[in-house]
Amino acid sequence: MQISFRATLAAIALATPVAAQDIEAGSAAFGKCKACHAITATDGTSIVRGGKVGPNLYGIVGRPVASQNGFRYREALKDVGASGQVWSAPELIAYITDPSAWLKQKTGDANARTGMTIRQSDHQADIIAYIESVSK
């Protein structure tokens, strides 16, 4: 049985993700994030030096919301964490795109406020891919 060249190309095209994340672009875009956030490994190794206004982002994907030890979260975000919400890549992308809208939707409270006031308008998936890549 002979497989045609077109069939092979079609199989390769279908197996390739349409919107692969760009870790290098995520690293560059993380420059805005590090004004408030650092990425520090569990052993204390500094991967990305940054501010301490926001929580450490090391290993955030898969971590329960508002669960970073020693960080003071606002009540609404703690309520989301207490509900069992875990940070996934899609949830983080939605959150960094519009933190207030995400929090209001999760809590059902139009008055819910988050400490994160900066919206990330591009490279959201790249940023999350970058954080995941350095959190291994």
Q: Mind listing the pLDDT tens digit for each residue in 80-114?
A: 999 999 999 999 999 999 999 999 999 999 999 99
Of 8-12, 60-64, 72-76, 111-115, least confident by mean pLDDT is: 8-12
**Those residues with Cβ within 8 angstroms of residue 63's Cβ, 6 or more apart along the chain or in another chain:** 86, 87
CA distances from 29 to 44, 71, 87, 131 (A): 24, 24, 20, 11
Determine the topology of domain 23-61+72-134 in CATH: Cytochrome Bc1 Complex; Chain D, domain 2 (1.10.760)
Most distant CA atoms of the chain, gap in Å: 65
Residue 136 confidence (pLDDT): 87
Domain boundaries, the chain: 23-61+72-134
pTM of the model: 0.82
CA distances from 11 to 2, 52, 79 (A): 15, 47, 45
Report the percent of the chain where pLDDT is more than 70: 85
